[in-house]
Amino acid sequence: MRLRRDSLTPLALVAVLVAAPTARAEVSLANAWMRPAYAGQPSAQVYVDVRSERPLKLVAASAPVARRAELVLVDPPSNDPATHRAVAELPVAGGGETRLALGGSHVRLVEVSRDVWPGERWPLELAFVDAEGKRVTATAEVLVRGLMARRPEDASPKD
């Protein structure tokens, strides 16, 4: 039995599509850190380097040491809190590194739920969306660096 060439074309196309690996955005996180914080502190900042081969949008963050987390855009970079604004997403450049850093855009932990001591490590999960709308998550281990500030008398953990 002979197969005609034009009958193989659609079949070959389906085979290629099924066998082709799906293009997934690979994300890696490095150098995640924060300053110590006490339970009841209204906010604390987390900094991390994000590397992706494809452009992404950072759309969410979560951490076990806070009630919630916000993405904060600081443009231009500044230590003035008036220039910091919570946003729904932060762009992540493809083919390089996007640094969420001191004085720049960062993750803000809101309502720190427990004391976070120097030398401690805990997980931070970041969620991204690629150009096709597919969600990608990555986890980093956050290192707590620096000295613990004295807890104000009126700052106590809220249940």
Q: Say if 71 falls within a structural domain.
A: yes
What is the domain range of residue 137?
26-144
Q: Is the pLDDT score of 154 beyond 60? A: no
Indicate whether 54 belongs to any domain: yes
- The strand pair at 121-129 and 135-144 is best described as antiparallel
Residue 45 forms part of a structural domain = yes
The tokens for 76 are: 């231009």
Neighbours of 127 (CB within 10 A): 16
In a domain, 88, yes or no: yes
Per-residue model confidence (pLDDT) at position 77: 85
* pLDDT for the residue numbered 78: 85
The CATH number assigned to the domain holding 95 equals 2.60.40.1890
Residue 150 forms part of a structural domain: no
23 has pLDDT over 60: no
pLDDT at residue 61 tops 50: yes
Domain assignment present for 19: no
Residue 2 lies in a domain: no
Indicate the number of domains in the chain.
1
Which string of b and e fits 83-103 if b means at least 16 CB within 10 Å? Answer: ebeeeeebebeeeeebbbbee
Q: Average pLDDT, stretch 123-148?
A: 96
Is residue 152 assigned to a domain?
Answer: no
User: What mean pLDDT is predicted for residues 117-128?
Assistant: 97
pTM: 0.78
